[in-house]
Amino acid sequence: MPEGIRVWGERAARAGGLDATMGVITAPASILGGAGDAYSIASLPQVRQAFAAWPPAEVFPYAPVAGTRAFREGWRRWIGMKAAGDFSRSGPLEERLTLPVATAGVSGALGAVGHLVLDPGDPVLVPDRRWDGYDTTFGTVNGARVEPVRLLDGAGWDLDAWREAISATARERGRAVCVVNFPHNPTGYVPSESEAEAFAALAAAAAEETGGHVVVLCDDAYEGYVYSDRPRTSLFYRLVDRHPRLLPIKCDGITKELLFWGGRLGCATTAFSQAAGPEARAAAEAKWENKLSAVVRGMISSASTPVQTLIGRLLADPEALIEARAPLLASLAERHRAMERALSAAPARAAFRPDPFHGGLFALLNLTRGDAPGAARILLSGPRIGVVPFGMSGQDLNALRVTYATVPIDRIEDLIREAAEAARASGG
């Protein structure tokens, strides 16, 4: 992080005196709808009215580059509570975590961390069935080489493929960077308890046996959205302090967890090994925050102040957030069951071979015949149903991603019937 405008601006704010650092405007209260000549940050009356319940200082100034203190501390407590499975108290993991660095959504967290841990040309191991944003973020933007690793072997996680890929990369290059994303986009797959533990063990073993470093980026955009008997929490928690050369990095945010799609507020959080002692760990945390802040500064300057203010306030009562979200989770679980029922019908069984799906918002329907892009076009032009075809972006797939989370429960059966007919028609 350079000794530039933002650093000096934050120092001036802490000093509390005359601040002539930042490129903002202040004005007398008399111009800003108040009384007197005291100066405060300038704003338009229409915007002030929209945020009338909050003090201007919590809305209009730039946030610190790494995020507001209230939001960062609140999100670290939130992560710790999730790890403990108890939102009535802080979890024991909390004190082990770095303060989260605020970014522009989960995508912003992945991109910022990618800049930090990947050099141009580096391989980054991703699932073969994957969100296409990885290709854009890590490939086009970070300049890394996206290398797919087989996700599924029949009905389960292909752990042998991941063991081989991580170990081979760490041995060859001295460092392996991989991305795990559960509940998975686009399949909805969630590892079993034994699979999650086996992955944590194999990642640590790769670091030990190769002498290299293993970095695991946990894309936790859909954490908690699990509707079957599978672990509800991120792999990240199992990876903390598993090995001194194994670094897990958690990328998450408010988009899905708090249902604030347009808030565009994400976080990057890690936990350094305690083996080196408290002084070395503190030094590593300071470097991590400084370097990641430099990337955030270069990409977005800082995340939205009013969104951080709102979420920081809401995180003061996490139990209320969990209670408010519960009916939605119940609704999604019902739609998940409806999706399973619809896919068990004979026409659907003839048309599709779904990947196993236990959570998230999606199901990935592999076509037994026909062409996925063609079927998607038929659905859009005929019954006006939008789905996402997989098979056009270099992935060896011929499948439709169906987001049942956006579909009314009484329309899911119709959706699958129409999709099966479109798949059959796309085969010519």
CA distances from 415 to 138, 384, 402, 410 (A): 34, 10, 9, 10
pLDDT confidence band for 135 (50 / 70 / 90):
very high
What pLDDT does residue 106 have? 96
Last residue of a domain, one of 297, 316, 335: 316
Q: How many structural domains comprise the chain?
A: 3
Does residue 244 sit in the same domain as residue 333?
no
Residue 20 inside a domain? The answer is no
Average pLDDT over every residue of 348-375: 95
Domain residues for the domain of 76 are 69-316
What pLDDT does residue 101 have? 98
Does residue 345 sit in the same domain as residue 198?
no
Residue 265 has pLDDT above 80, yes or no: yes
Average pLDDT over every residue of 385-392: 84
C-alpha angle with apex 94: 63 to 10, nearest 5 degrees?
20
With a CB cutoff of 8 Å and minimum separation 6, the contacts of 3 are none
- Evaluate whether 237 touches 249 at the Cβ level (below 8 Å): no
Residue 1 inside a domain? The answer is no
> What span, in angstroms and rounded, lies between the C-alpha atoms of 81 and 91?
5
> What span, in angstroms and rounded, lies between the C-alpha atoms of 123 and 107?
19
> What span, in angstroms and rounded, lies between the C-alpha atoms of 179 and 153?
18
Residue 4 has pLDDT above 80, yes or no: no
Q: Which of 123, 137, 217 is nearest to 175 (CA)?
A: 123
pTM over 0.75: yes
Residue 7 inside a domain? The answer is no
Q: Which of 72, 78, 76, 71 is nearest to 322 (CA)?
A: 78
- Evaluate whether 399 touches 389 at the Cβ level (below 8 Å): yes
In order, the DSSP letters of 281-344 are HHHHHHHHHHHHHHHHHHHHSS--HHHHHHHHHHTTSHHHHHHHHHHHHHHHHHHHHHHHHHHT
- Evaluate whether 150 touches 161 at the Cβ level (below 8 Å): yes
pLDDT in tens, 214-258: 999 999 999 999 999 999 999 999 999 999 999 999 999 999 999
- Evaluate whether 376 touches 388 at the Cβ level (below 8 Å): yes
Last residue of a domain, one of 272, 289, 316: 316
- Evaluate whether 358 touches 232 at the Cβ level (below 8 Å): no
**CATH number assigned to the domain comprising residue 249:** 3.40.640.10
Peptide bond into 127 cis (omega under 30): no
pLDDT in tens, 409-425: 999 999 999 999 999 99
Average pLDDT over every residue of 13-27: 76
Residue 95 inside a domain? The answer is yes
Average pLDDT over every residue of 311-316: 93
Does residue 330 sit in the same domain as residue 397?
yes
In order, the DSSP letters of 198-233 are HHHHHHHHHHHHH--EEEEEEE-TTTT-B-SSS--S
Residue 127 has pLDDT above 60, yes or no: yes
Residue 317 has pLDDT above 80, yes or no: yes
pLDDT confidence band for 328 (50 / 70 / 90):
confident
Residue 64 inside a domain? The answer is no
Report the mean per-residue pLDDT for the chain: 92
What pLDDT does residue 118 have? 97
Does residue 217 sit in the same domain as residue 80?
yes
Does residue 261 sit in the same domain as residue 184?
yes
**CATH number assigned to the domain comprising residue 332:** 3.90.1150.10
Does residue 207 sit in the same domain as residue 122?
yes
Does residue 45 sit in the same domain as residue 193?
no
Residue 30 inside a domain? The answer is yes
Does residue 45 sit in the same domain as residue 169?
no
Does residue 299 sit in the same domain as residue 271?
yes
Residue 351 has pLDDT above 60, yes or no: yes
What pLDDT does residue 392 have? 54
Last residue of a domain, one of 252, 286, 316: 316
pLDDT confidence band for 90 (50 / 70 / 90):
confident
What pLDDT does residue 428 have? 60
Does residue 306 sit in the same domain as residue 357?
no
Pairing of strands 246-253, 213-219: parallel
pLDDT confidence band for 56 (50 / 70 / 90):
confident
With a CB cutoff of 8 Å and minimum separation 6, the contacts of 377 are none
Does residue 350 sit in the same domain as residue 391?
yes
pLDDT in tens, 275-311: 889 999 999 999 999 999 999 999 999 999 999 999 9
Residue 370 has pLDDT above 90, yes or no: yes
- Evaluate whether 424 touches 400 at the Cβ level (below 8 Å): no
C-alpha angle with apex 35: 37 to 13, nearest 5 degrees?
55
pLDDT confidence band for 68 (50 / 70 / 90):
very high
Residue 6 has pLDDT above 90, yes or no: no
Does residue 119 sit in the same domain as residue 264?
yes
What percent of the chain lies above the pLDDT cut of 70? 98
Residue 394 has pLDDT above 70, yes or no: no
Residue 227 inside a domain? The answer is yes
Q: At residue 20, what are phi and psi to the nearest 5 degrees?
A: -120, 40
pLDDT in tens, 175-222: 999 999 999 999 999 999 999 999 999 999 999 999 999 999 999 999
